[in-house]
Amino acid sequence: MTQRPFQQVDVFTATPYLGNPLAVVMDGTGLSDAQMQSFARWTHLPETTFLLPPSPDAAAAGAHYRVRIFTTAYEMPFAGHPTLGSCHAWLQSGGLEQVDTDAQGQDTIIQECKVGLVKIHRTARLGGHRLAFAAPALQRSEPSAQTRDVLAKALGLDAQHILAAQHLHNGPRHFGFLVNSLQTVLGLSPDFAQLALALQEAGVSGVGLAFVAPREEADTSPLIGRSNREARAFGGVAQSAPDGVVPDEEPNVEIRFFATGNNGVSEDPVTGSFNASMAQWLIAQGHAPSHYLAAQGTCIGHEGRVHITQDAQGQVWVGGDSVSCITGHVKI
């Protein structure tokens, strides 16, 4: 067994223990697939990543490192919070010395993973820096009425709650619902046994839903037009911030996500890949603005915050804070 640098990172939060935890083995060189999977199972965290040198082709294309992403049961081609958390840990361990800063003070890191090369921006903000990854290309399609109804029933959604639904594929295969109110999102109590069967029948690894808060009354978007504007975009679920950091604006989108795991179906604290695919869908269809702040984890005691921005070229960026909670070594 070899002693290897290790970090445990909390992602999509500026406050430790309110986001989504990630184990990062800083040097996965020489480990077999079985060893990686065994360690990931032992951590019992949503995901564990292993950092490696980039492949020759990826290095030639500018990749700084390669990451392999494991749940407790299988390897993933891509995932959002492991992307940001791994990059945060890599930078914390000296990777920043390998990164060039542009004229606007923005750093660009290139990560290699099984879906290919993922670009990550590191941008200065008051109190520190924030990372954002370029959302991978999305494949999406309209679901059949049967698939939509089966998943909705398992979640506890009635037909009148659903504004739109979509199959989403950006590495992981997910299913998304857009629903009519914040209360609909926060009040769900899924039938987990039924949901596990429904996910298998639908051929997706997870299902989630989003509510987009109404904009100002002057906004003529067909989604908006509601007078309550959901208590001024979730003013009651503001995230705390460390000393010296100015809190961000209140979230105006609420997300929940459920996925199969070793113990059946569970709710994810914050899901970067799902937020990425939902953002691309919602913005493209005019259901959401090109910049918004999403909250996730509210119902399970977390305060995840996901910053979504679409740039002038149409690229959607998914950003969030990360904090290192444990730094040390592990033997694998």
DSSP string, 150-197: HHHHHHT--GGGEEEEEEEESSSEEEEEEES-HHHHHT----HHHHHH
Lowest mean pLDDT among 44-58, 129-143, 171-185, 259-273: 259-273
**116 and 229 inside one domain:** no
Number of domains in the chain: 2
160 and 177 both lie in a single domain: yes
Q: Would 224 be classed as within a structural domain? A: yes
Judge whether 126 lies within some domain: yes
- pLDDT tens-digit profile of 219-253? 444 444 443 445 455 654 444 444 444 445 789 99
**What pLDDT is attached to residue 248?**
56
Q: DSSP character for 71?
A: -
Residues serving a catalytic function are: 47
Tell me, yes or no, whether 41 and 147 share the same domain.
no
Residues 292 and 145 in one domain: yes
Residue 309 domain flag: no
**Please, where are the H alpha helices in the chain?**
33-43, 56-60, 80-92, 145-155, 182-186, 192-202, 229-234, 272-284
Query: Do 299 and 169 fall within a single domain?
Result: yes
Residues 39 and 105 in one domain: yes
The number of angstroms, rounded, from the C-alpha of 6 to the middle of its chain's C-alpha atoms is 22
Residues 170 and 73 placed together within one structural domain of the fold? no
Q: Are residues 288 and 153 in the same domain?
A: yes
Given a contact cutoff of 8 angstroms between Cβ atoms, the answer to whether 178 and 209 are in contact is yes
**Half-sphere exposure for 61 (CA within 13 Å, toward CB):** 15
Give the per-residue pLDDT at 106. 82
pLDDT, position 216: 61
What CATH number is given to the structural domain containing 126? 3.10.310.10
Q: Is residue 311 part of a domain?
A: no
Distance of CA 224 to the CA centre of its chain: 25
Q: Indicate the average pLDDT of the chain.
A: 89
13 and 117 share one domain = yes
CA of residue 134 relative to chain centroid, distance: 12
Residue 82 domain-assigned? Answer: yes
Residue 148 reports pLDDT greater than 80: yes
Backbone angles phi, psi at 69, to 5 degrees: -120, 125
Q: Is residue 248 part of a domain?
A: yes
Q: Please indicate, yes or no, whether residues 110 and 173 belong to a single structural domain of this protein.
A: no
Q: Is residue 231 part of a domain?
A: yes
The pLDDT value given to residue 96 = 82
Amino acid 321 reads D
What distance in Å separates the CA atoms of residue 37 and residue 302, rounded to the nearest whole number?
27
Same domain, 101 and 243: no
pTM: 0.88
The number of residues in the chain equals 332
Task: At 152, list the tokens.
Answer: 């909705």
Structural domain boundaries enclosing 225: 139-304
Q: What is the mean pLDDT of residues 164-193?
A: 96
Q: Could you tell me if 165 and 281 lie in one domain?
A: yes
Report whether pLDDT(149) > 90.
yes
> Does residue 125 lie within any of the structural domains?
yes
Contact 251, 233 (CB under 8 A): yes
